[in-house]
Homo-oligomer: A and B are copies of this chain.
Amino acid sequence: MNSFGRKFRVSIFGESHGIMVGAVIDGCPPGIALSEVDMLPDLARRKSGAKGTTPRKEADEPRIISGVFNGYTTGAPITVVFENSNTRSGDYKNLTVQPRPGHADWVALKKYNGFNDYRGGGHFSGRITLGLVAAGTVAKKIAGNAVFKSDIVELGGTRNKEEFDSVIESALNQHDSVGGIVECTITGCPAGAGEPFFDSVESVISHAVFSVPAVKGVEFGAGFESARLKGSENNDNIIGTDGATETNNAGGINGGITNGNPIVFRVAVKPTPSISLPQDTVNMESGRREGLIIKGKHDACIALRIPVIIEAVAAIAIADLTLLSK
């Protein structure tokens, strides 16, 4: 379903070319200072505008329509909406006949029997993540003293940040796209959040993170590398009665529960499937395989916009765990 959280619950809605997209944020405590202005910095990070991204020419202007009064949260559900103004819907009908490789076109057709709003990806559009980012702003305010920070640590296969620009330049020139890896660090999250099994911190965060389009992998602490370490290398020696450890291969989580050290995880972001290069697909009407050219401008690197969204969903997860562990 389109909601997440047991005590801090976020529901998102909208389609790329519908009237509005947005989120309902339920379970936020009363008395927290909140206005649309608070959401602008994170929304600006999502919008990017950097080389390799193609922001729509829209204001992405959040409007809080419930749950805030006199500048403070009331304790009632907070609803944030974003109008969709810059939508041209003429040229999308094709997607239902020629499903794009790597996109949700085909599964949407199948799951919704052809009734899905296919314009601009409809409810599958990255535009729906506006609601996530808005909810993330609220979540960050209630996630105790936790501080969320995420950044791209690998792009198009290189970990050298000085090469990122040329990787994107090259992808643009080739009419192709590149993926990347985002690392998120959460400091200040108190020990004791999460549960031993089904609601382990890893379970809850990964559930939220895989909600973000284009994410194909998540690892905590040493992650996949820990599978290549010896126990003697991977174990984090405990050096304080407060649970502080010498290393942090556990990524701040033992037995599914936060141990007070920074929570660290990395997220694999696939290259955006929309590319200008000719591709192959099947024609759903004729049943024949045929060539496909996707027109329009595309993000050469969707990963550039992802860090703030990962922060947002991590904050949503931690806010819920924090409120639950009180």
Residues of chain A touching chain B, judged by Cβ–Cβ distance below 8 Å, are 1-4, 6-7, 9-15, 18-22, 24, 26-27, 30-31, 63-67, 69, 72-79, 81, 99, 101-104, 106-108, 110-113, 115-117, 122-124, 128, 154, 156-157, 171, 174, 176-181, 191-192, 195-200, 202-204, 206-208, 210-211, 213, 215-224, 226-232, 234-241, 243, 245-246, 249-251, 254-260, 268-275, 277, 279-282, 284, 287, 289, 303, 324, 326
Contact = CB atoms under 8 A, between A and B. Distances in A.
B2 A211 contact: no
Contacts of A258: 107
Contacts of A254: 102-104, 106-107
Nearest to A119: B69
A15 B268 contact: no
Nearest to A223: B217
A298 B1 CA distance: 40
Contact of A110 (B191, B215, B249): B191
Contacts of A207: 198, 203-204, 206-207
A84 to B, nearest CB: 9
Given A7-B324, A101-B235, A115-B75, A241 B287 contact: yes
A212 to B, nearest CB: 8
Given A117-B74, A238-B99, A66 B18 contact: yes
A66 to B, nearest CB: 5
Contacts of A213: 255-256
A77 B12 contact: yes
Contacts of A218: 206, 217-219
B229 A77 contact: no
* Most chain B CB neighbours (cut-off 10 Å) among A7, A9, A202: A202
Contacts of A26: 1-3, 11, 13
A116 B228 contact: no
Task: Enumerate the 7 nearest inter-chain pairs by beta-carbon distance, A residue then B residue, closest first.
Answer: A104-B255, A217-B219, A177-B231, A76-B123, A30-B115, A202-B210, A102-B235
A124 B231 CA distance: 18
Contact of A279 (B9, B14, B232, B324): B232
Given A219-B216, A251-B216, A238 B106 contact: yes
